[in-house]
Chain A
Amino acid sequence: MNDLIGQISICIERGKVNKAAPYPPDMREQDGADELTKQAIDDGIDPNEILHGCMMGMQKIGEKFSRNEAFVPELLMSAKAMTAVMAHLKPFFQSGNVKRKGKFVIGTVAGDLHDIGKKLVAMVVEGNGWDVIDLGVDVSADKFIAAIDEHPGCIVGMSALLTTTMVNMEKSIQGIRAKHPGTKVIVGGAPLSTEYANKIHADGYAADPQGAVNLLNGF
């Protein structure tokens, strides 16, 4: 692997956004994901390789998070570093020179306004090479369906933090299946479990962001 790509991957894993960023302390004054990505593009490195390096870094921090070796703040810093990379790659996505793994539509279900878990999943999934369409919070079944109409072939992710709102997942899944029977739906959130996901006929349950990535990559 190109040395620059390796450095970008480390910046993602460690959450080093740019040179000015004080975190992590042992990388202070060093170039971050922002500068290194710009340099890589200027050097003519294939943007697909850059994205691959980004994914490797994101996967490592995601796995550490799953093993309780990394925590939410660190994961968020990695996501910020990843966002810095994506800003440079955006023109290549738009031109079609860089391919994503697929489209992932995500939202917090109707009646629920919690954002943290859903956003973490969205950021980690994006960093793992997926095109993420974040519908936000309090998303109705109709809004999920409209997003699937707009993004055929996408996979849907639903989040809920409350026991009172997780029941809305079932209604949304029923609505989606009625119009788009083949659409895969994965679910997550604090009160959920594999058993509940099976009960509401979801295609998968993820306990954390990396779990969501693993589910998506397995479809």
Chain B
Amino acid sequence: MENKKPDICAALACEQPKNAVPIWELEFHLWNCFSPKRVILGTEFLTLSSGDQEKTLHENAEIMFAVSRELQFSALTIPGGYWEIAPGVPAYYWLPDEARIEQTKILKRVVSDNLMLMAVTGGVLAIPEANDYISFSTKLLEAPEEIDDLAQRCWFQGIEQGKKFSDLGVEGLITASDIAENRGPYFNPEQLRRFIFPYLHKWALEVKSLGVFPILHTDGNVESCLDEIAQSGISALQAIDPVAGMDIIRVKNRIGDKVCLCGNVDCGLFLNGTPEQIYKTTTDVLQACKTGGGFVLGASNVIQPQAPKENVLAMIEAWRHYGSYKPVTDKRL
């Protein structure tokens, strides 16, 4: 199998990869659609005995690696820590802290240097969860010094987590910090300057000092703060949310020489669209973004487990036709 890691290393460094546009999903939830065995995570994992948990972590790693190879991924994001998509409702793609560490060690042994491992470790504040947003928003305006403390703690914890995963061989760290919604930033410009960008900057510097790529994931429309994002020192921006009106060509023209762009095939289209639509959208994105490198192909956000596998295959098929950098007559990968 061709080692795809050099390609994603080049892209994240804003250079043109030697072979092809790398593919990476922020979180991939369709492992079980492409494998006769099952990846077991989250609440189901918790129900297993300790012996079965250990066995499962090994099986998970084998499945993830095999599917990543089949789908031509250059990197894979290890399962995250516990979080809730709504009060009391855990997200699918998580493992308890100790198991997460163990899963990372096993994955590193399994994938070796063939794939890059990514981990969401945080570092920068985001729009708060449903239960907290009124109190958080009130503090932003009435007690900003409390938000200063929160931002500092978030940064510190992100760095501590980042170091832990860097030591395990993870080479891309993600702060999943949604700072915007469809209309634009959640925070006003003064709040962005005080609570977000200084921390993003020092997080990026610290992560780079570990020899790791710092990646910002944010949903929403961040067009008004692209310059600040580019100046923050991050290696890559993930999402470029098309539903929020983010035009990846415009983003590429504005900051594509400083920040690698990761995305942005509409994740909703994977769920509700047809393979033909995915093929066309992926082709358009590739043709618009691959020139000069600094681009990683993937969905704009998590492809939901209910999405048909044919849509994922359609993205890969478009990549086979249009993802190559090789100067040959038949460029099909």
| Structural contact, A116 and B306, CB atoms closer than 8 A | no
| Structural contact, A164 and B186, CB atoms closer than 8 A | no
The answer to the question of A190 belonging to the interface, with a C-beta cut-off of 8 Å to chain B, is yes
Chain A 60-95 against B: per-residue CB contact (8 Å), 1 yes, 0 no? Answer: 000001101011111011001000000000000000
| Structural contact, A163 and B141, CB atoms closer than 8 A | no
Q: For B186, list chain A residues within 8 Å (CB).
A: 71-73
Complex alpha-carbon distance, A167 and B183, angstroms: 22
Between A114, A164, A208, the greatest number of chain B beta carbons within 10 A of the residue's beta carbon is seen for A164
Complex alpha-carbon distance, A116 and B185, angstroms: 15
Chain A 105-122 against B: per-residue CB contact (8 Å), 1 yes, 0 no? Answer: 000000011111100000
Complex alpha-carbon distance, A115 and B141, angstroms: 21
Of A15-23, A40-48, A124-132, A173-181, the one contacting chain B is A15-23
| Structural contact, B142 and A76, CB atoms closer than 8 A | no
Complex alpha-carbon distance, A15 and B183, angstroms: 21
Complex alpha-carbon distance, A77 and B138, angstroms: 7
The answer to the question of B112 belonging to the interface, with a C-beta cut-off of 8 Å to chain A, is no
Q: For B188, list chain A residues within 8 Å (CB).
A: 70-71, 73-74
The answer to the question of A207 belonging to the interface, with a C-beta cut-off of 8 Å to chain B, is yes
The answer to the question of A191 belonging to the interface, with a C-beta cut-off of 8 Å to chain B, is yes
Looking at chain A's contact residues, the main secondary structure is: loop
Complex alpha-carbon distance, A51 and B271, angstroms: 45
Q: For A207, list chain B residues within 8 Å (CB).
A: 182-183
Task: Write the chain B residue with the least CB distance to A79.
Answer: B134
Complex alpha-carbon distance, A71 and B188, angstroms: 6
| Structural contact, A73 and B187, CB atoms closer than 8 A | yes
The answer to the question of A137 belonging to the interface, with a C-beta cut-off of 8 Å to chain B, is yes
| Structural contact, A73 and B191, CB atoms closer than 8 A | yes
Interface range for A: 20 to 34
Task: Write the chain A residue with the least CB distance to B243.
Answer: A191
Decide yes or no: A76 and B134 within 8 Å by CB, A21-B142, A68-B224, A113-B89 being known contacts: yes
B220 smallest CB distance to A (angstroms): 8
Task: Write the chain B residue with the least CB distance to A189.
Answer: B182
Complex alpha-carbon distance, A116 and B140, angstroms: 16
Complex alpha-carbon distance, A202 and B241, angstroms: 25
| Candidates B86, B140, B268, B306; contact of A73 at CB < 8 Å | B140
Task: Write the chain A residue with the least CB distance to B136.
Answer: A73
| Structural contact, A80 and B138, CB atoms closer than 8 A | yes
B30 smallest CB distance to A (angstroms): 14
Chain B 226-268 against A: per-residue CB contact (8 Å), 1 yes, 0 no? Answer: 0000000000000000011000000000000000000000011
Q: For B140, list chain A residues within 8 Å (CB).
A: 73
A150 smallest CB distance to B (angstroms): 26
The answer to the question of B157 belonging to the interface, with a C-beta cut-off of 8 Å to chain A, is no
Complex alpha-carbon distance, A208 and B143, angstroms: 27
| Structural contact, B130 and A116, CB atoms closer than 8 A | yes
A197 smallest CB distance to B (angstroms): 14
| Structural contact, B141 and A190, CB atoms closer than 8 A | no
| Structural contact, A190 and B271, CB atoms closer than 8 A | no
| Candidates A23, A65, A70; contact of B142 at CB < 8 Å | A23
The answer to the question of B308 belonging to the interface, with a C-beta cut-off of 8 Å to chain A, is no
A110 smallest CB distance to B (angstroms): 13
| Structural contact, A71 and B187, CB atoms closer than 8 A | yes
Q: For B224, list chain A residues within 8 Å (CB).
A: 68
Complex alpha-carbon distance, A72 and B126, angstroms: 13
Chain B 64-105 against A: per-residue CB contact (8 Å), 1 yes, 0 no? Answer: 000000000000000000000111010000000000000000
Q: For A71, list chain B residues within 8 Å (CB).
A: 184-188, 191
Q: For A68, list chain B residues within 8 Å (CB).
A: 183-184, 224
| Structural contact, B267 and A163, CB atoms closer than 8 A | yes
Decide yes or no: A77 and B141 within 8 Å by CB, A116-B130, A137-B86 being known contacts: yes
Task: Write the chain B residue with the least CB distance to A15.
Answer: B141
| Structural contact, A190 and B142, CB atoms closer than 8 A | no
Return 7 A-B CB contacts under 8 Å, by A number.
Answer: A68-B224, A71-B185, A73-B187, A76-B137, A113-B86, A164-B306, A207-B183
Given contacts A70-B188, A71-B186, 5 further A-B contacts (CB under 8 A): A68-B183, A71-B187, A73-B186, A73-B187, A113-B130
